[in-house]
Structure 1
Amino acid sequence: MAAVLVWHPDPFWSGTSRLLFFLLLAHLLPTSLLSATPLVRVSDGWTKAYNGLQPGANQAEVNMDQRRVNELRQMFPTFPETTITQLLNAHSGQVDQTALTIAALSEIFHSEEDIEDSMLLPSEILYDDRMSEVHKLVLRSNPWLAKFPLLMPGPDINHVAANLALEYEGKYCWSTCFDADFLAALMYEGYLPMAEMTRAGPAKFILLPKMHHQRCILKFEDLHVRKKVRKRAARFDITCDAAFDAVVEGCLRQHGENWLHPPIINVLKEIFHRGGINGVRIHSFELWENGTMVAGEMGYSVGGCYTSLSGFYTVDSAGSVQCIGTAKLLQRAGVAFWDLGMTLKYKLDLGAHCVPRQAFLGEIWKTRNKRPIELPCEPVNVKQLLESASV
């Protein structure tokens, strides 16, 4: 079966559907929530600005459990907190039902201009209306996914994913497939594999392949090592691919599951233990002090490019030393550049710089078919590693 990209910018909200939704909303929610109020602009679309509940409303309902409000704010960071509180009140504190309503409202009030900005332009990308019942149920239960293209596995997934990366102006796609070969194909094309837990529906987790608008990359001739890091480097040894499972556990302890949910972990472990799939190899870097792992990171290589996924540290300065040690091991192995993902200050301090998506893809295409990199498992002292070549 051919790989399929399904794009439904507005699958449920035709004019009639919107009218019916408003009639239903007017029936379910208190009149005070639906009083005439202006539309206000937020960072990624139009949302309804509701007036507060009228005097005399039950304060116990208005002062809804802040934990539930915070949970919803994490899901919908641009939605007004007062509106979230009011909708929670209207739904008797049911987070799942409130989330569905907020997602629907966000979609309804999204301006046509914004929708068009994120749509795919006509291209050679395959468009298809075929969707399984599972996909339809997932969309009905999680309408926020309607803004993103759906990717399905197939023999031409590399072609579909590559064209999508060039044509699509958004950052995320989605899929219900967590097959290792499918994810390896997406990583080969420059996508970062991420996952999200759904609130309802037949799929507990959704794959969210991400293609940044800008990517932070490090060319090793630009690497900067601070004196403080040089001074402390002698305390630490670094290895590669020596304790992958332990590095995964360290990342989970420090950051929680976040995007690193069980299906993603299982795929990364499968690719690692298979020794790579279709040019994609999973790696871990471990930093040791007196035989104890004190920092680490995991990522993957595609030819001459290495991409970071996540990392952790347990003692001061260990994270900085691990980054420098990793950079020197990659440089020594002949890696062309280090893909650091999103832009953060510590990455810029290393000497990295941001490049637009097309430039990043160009770098990937130039280097991904190079001979796979070989990294040492034996411990190397980081100070000696730094002294082995000028920085």
Structure 2
Amino acid sequence: MTITFLSRNLEFPHPGQAGPDGLLAVGGDLTPERLIAAYSRGIFPWYGPGSPILWWSPDPRLVLFPGSLHIPRSLRRVLNSGKFTITADQAFEKVIEYCAGIKRAGGHGTWLVPEMISAYIRLHHMGIAHSVEAWHRGQLAGGIYGLALGSIFFGESMFYRVPDASKTALVYLCRIMQNKGYLLMDCQQTTRHMLRFGAQEVSRAFFLEELGKGKNQTRDRTEKWDFSCNPSGFFIPENGRVGA
């Protein structure tokens, strides 16, 4: 395995050159141009404080097809109760700030270093990064954020301060994706949490093929998402799937 050290140009090695753990390249920067170049090739940054920028393309890759989202019975009751008010792109900076503060198992809670937060906020101002927020009693209770390139959504992180808030935001993100014609959400790495919601592992080759289908579509590249509702009486059918 040979790790590529990036220069000032935006060229990345082919994802197939990544090591067994998915590490592909080191260095570079977090300019919008480089981040767009990376994500459009199925590559994402992930590193901690004091580390150089590390670029990854794991195999297998976890993805969620929005129409395959599984909603547990207990969450259906929450959705149907109208407990949370849902918005999109109304509190992106707060969402990413709370995501950065999460303490994760294995000591990986600090991967959202300040320069990465600033980079995603720049992409949000460009209309490329988006958030879905769940509010409870007027306070931000949970949310999820990621990047939209063409018809692919790259999920980055989620948080909750009130139980079921991030799960509710995920359900509505999938509903937005269906309404806008997105092919899939990239979940990057496999977690039991996302597997429970219907995400599935696919090969890197399959992921890159789907990415190729969707990345050249320009929907949502420069627009703010506009979505706001109080899901009172939001009926979830017995099969636990969310329709468009």
* TM-score for the superposition, normalised by structure 2: 0.85
> Are 1:192 and 2:41 counterparts?
no
Mapped contact 2:86–2:229 kept (Cα < 8 A)? yes
Q: Residue type of the partner of 1:349?
A: R
Decide whether aligned partners of structure 1 residues 167 and 381 sit closer, same or farther in structure 2, where only a CA change above 3 A counts: same
Q: Report the RMSD for the aligned CA atoms in angstroms.
A: 2.3
* Shift in Å, 1:377: 2.9
Residue 330 of structure 1 corresponds to 177
Residue 181 of structure 1 corresponds to 33
2:121 to 253, 260, 269: 269
Q: Residue type of the partner of 1:274?
A: M
Mapped contact 1:307–1:338 kept (Cα < 8 A)? yes
Matches for 1:37-186 after TM superposition, within 5 Å? 118-119=1-2, 148-154=3-9, 157=10, 160-161=11-12, 163-170=13-20, 171-172=22-23, 173-186=25-38
Residue 346 of structure 1 corresponds to 193
Residue 97 of structure 2 corresponds to 249
Decide whether aligned partners of structure 1 residues 263 and 231 sit closer, same or farther in structure 2, where only a CA change above 3 A counts: same
Mapped contact 2:18–2:56 kept (Cα < 8 A)? no
Residue 56 of structure 1 corresponds to none
Cα distance between partner residues in 1 of 2:28 and 2:224: 33
Same amino acid, percent of matched pairs = 24
> Are 1:360 and 2:198 counterparts?
no
Mapped contact 1:304–1:335 kept (Cα < 8 A)? yes
Unaligned runs of 5+ in 1: 1-117, 120-147, 199-204, 276-280
Mapped contact 2:84–2:136 kept (Cα < 8 A)? yes
Decide whether aligned partners of structure 1 residues 185 and 384 sit closer, same or farther in structure 2, where only a CA change above 3 A counts: farther
Q: Name whichever structure is richer in strand by fraction.
A: 2
1:299 to 133, 142, 146: 146
* Shift in Å, 1:375: 6.5
* Shift in Å, 1:343: 1.0
Match of 1:371, SS? coil
> Are 1:260 and 2:115 counterparts?
no
* Shift in Å, 1:383: 5.0
Q: 1:246-289: CA deviations, max 9, x gaps?
A: 111211222386111111111111121133xxxxx111111111
Match of 1:382, SS? coil
2:63 to 217, 220, 226: 217
Structure whose CA Rg is larger:
1
Unaligned runs of 5+ in 2: none
* Shift in Å, 1:217: 0.8
Mapped contact 1:328–1:386 kept (Cα < 8 A)? no
Q: 1:300-328: CA deviations, max 9, x gaps?
A: 01100101111110112222222212211
> Are 1:239 and 2:239 counterparts?
no
Residue 230 of structure 2 corresponds to 381
Q: 1:317-370: CA deviations, max 9, x gaps?
A: 222222212211221121111111111122111111100111111111111111
Match of 1:306, SS? strand
Decide whether aligned partners of structure 1 residues 381 and 153 sit closer, same or farther in structure 2, where only a CA change above 3 A counts: farther
Q: Name whichever structure is richer in helix by fraction.
A: 1
1:228 to 50, 56, 74: 74
Runs of 4+ in structure 1 off by over 6 angstroms are none
Q: Residue type of the partner of 2:52?
A: I
* Shift in Å, 1:214: 1.3
Residue 288 of structure 1 corresponds to 135
Q: Residue type of the partner of 2:47?
A: A
Match of 2:188, SS? coil
Cα distance between partner residues in 2 of 1:386 and 1:341: 30
Match of 1:255, SS? coil
Equivalenced residues, count? 230
1:317 to 157, 164, 171: 164
Decide whether aligned partners of structure 1 residues 382 and 345 sit closer, same or farther in structure 2, where only a CA change above 3 A counts: farther
Decide whether aligned partners of structure 1 residues 291 and 363 sit closer, same or farther in structure 2, where only a CA change above 3 A counts: same
Decide whether aligned partners of structure 1 residues 377 and 221 sit closer, same or farther in structure 2, where only a CA change above 3 A counts: closer
Q: Residue type of the partner of 1:300?
A: L
Residue 369 of structure 1 corresponds to 216
Match of 2:129, SS? strand
